[in-house]
Amino acid sequence: MSKKIRIAVLVSGGGTNLQALIDAERSGIIKSGRISLVISSNPEAYALKRAESAGIKTAVCQRKDRTQKEFEESIISLLDGNGIELIVLAGFMCILSESFTFRYKKRIINVHPSLIPSFCGKGFYGLRVHQAALDYGVKVTGATVHFVNEIPDGGEIIMQKAVDIIDGDTPETLQKRVMTEAEWKILPLSAEKVCREIIKEQS
C-alpha cells in the first residue's frame, strides 16, 4: 500500500502511548499511516524526547497566556501545514472546543483508561479513573479508543479491551496493567483501522 495517512500525536507528558504508537509503526502494526508530527502542550514533556529519538518532527503549543481560540489556531496551523489527516490524543491534557472537534470530525481519536461508559467524562483522567474503578468494586476494567467530539469521552467507540482487577490492586498497579494489557495494544490497532478507513474513503 503506497498511500500512508499522515498522523499527528498530541501529548502532554511522558509519552508512553506515543512510544506504543512509534513501536507499532516500526513493527508494521501501523502500516496505513505514518506519525509525521508530535505536538506537546508542555515544553518539558518527555514525549518530545521520544519523538526526537524516533526522528519525528515536534512542536510545542502551550495553552498558557492564550485564549482557547488562539491555542487551537496554533495547533490547526501546524496540522494544516504538515498535511495531517488523523489526530491521535495520547495523554493530551487540554480540552478541545466543539469548533475544533467538529473541524476534524471522525479524524481525532483518544484512548481512555476504562470501559466507556464507565468511569469517564469530565474529571475522569489519570489515576482518578482507576481509583474510581477500585472504589466502585468492579471486577473488570480496561481501555477504550473512541472518536473525539465535543463531549468528553463521548464520541463513537472504535475499540475496547478488558482487563481484570486483581485483589490488592492499587490505582498505580491497575494503571500500569491497563496500559500494558489494553491501551498500548488497542491504540495502535485503532489508529491503523481508522487510517485504512480514511484511505478507503479517499479512493
130 included as an active-site residue: no
DSSP H helices, the chain, are 16-27, 46-53, 68-81, 98-103, 127-136, 171-178, 184-202
Q: Which of 107, 112, 130, 185 is catalytic?
A: 112
Residue 164: strand, helix, or coil: strand
Do 45 and 12 touch, CB atoms closer than 8 A? yes
> What CA–CA distance (Å, rounded) separates 86 from 108?
6
Cell numbers that stand for 33 in this block: 499511516
Cell numbers that stand for 152 in this block: 468528553
Cell numbers that stand for 49 in this block: 524526547
Q: Residue 153: left if φ>0, alpha if ψ -120 to 50, beta else—which one?
A: left
Do 31 and 194 touch, CB atoms closer than 8 A? no
What 8-state DSSP symbol labels residue 123?
A: T
Q: Which residues pair with 142 in a beta bridge?
A: 162
Catalytic positions, written as ranges: 112
